[in-house]
Homo-oligomer: A and B are copies of this chain.
Amino acid sequence: MRYAVPGTGEVGRTLAGRLVELGYEVTLGARAKDNPVAREWATVAGGRAHAGTFAEAAAAADVVVNAVGGRVALAALRAAGAENLDGKVLVDVSNPLAVEEGEVRLDPVESDSVGERIQREFPHARVVKTLNTVNCRVMVDPGRVPGEHNLFVCGEDDGAKDQVRELLGEFGWPAERVLDLGGIRAARAVEMLLPLWITLFGRFGHADFNVEVRRAR
């Protein structure tokens, strides 16, 4: 299995680094071919780590993990090329977050979501929304947070969700802690958790937290 991780920020480098540790060939994708962050990452992360454009990364990959911010995800995936996404599992971990005049704002919100927009624009990609509800260090090391806390997955393709569950298992998330919310429309619900996450981050002063869904059986 070969991965593309578009997005050279902390989320992208963290996910790509963990995938390399797990033994996969990984290309960190950037807009420009000579992106210095991507090139440095590939040098430091070792022989299975590569740097390339969004299109080069996606073309070489079996699975694409979108780690570009939600506001620019569609532009990045267009640059990757629909032909390089067709039939592939596309994991979207982004949030449609921007800071405007000192205020955190989401766009889209409630009546649409990044997850749905990606699936709508790339109907032959097998989009799975997950991981966007936790900090990137928790994404790849859930033991940073105590307890049986949960992740959510949603998407239209059950086979793609099964494949993503296996990857999440390799990251340290047991299958029973990954709650399937159904189709990609549920991306709205998980993207709308971001304001609570930001509020709790401000109260706790660190990002090592998550929620555990408790329920009567």
A interface, CB within 8 angstroms of B: 105-106, 109-111, 144-147, 149, 152, 179-182, 186, 188-190, 192-193, 195-196, 198-200, 202-204, 206, 208-216
Contacts and interface: CB of A to CB of B under 8 A. Distances in A.
B210 A181 contact: no
A184 to B, nearest CB: 12
Contacts of A149: 214
B203 A208 contact: no
- Which applies to chain A's interface (DSSP): helix, strand, loop or mixed? mixed
Nearest to A109: B110
A65 B79 CA distance: 53
Contact of A195 (B110, B146, B182): B110
A176 B110 CA distance: 31
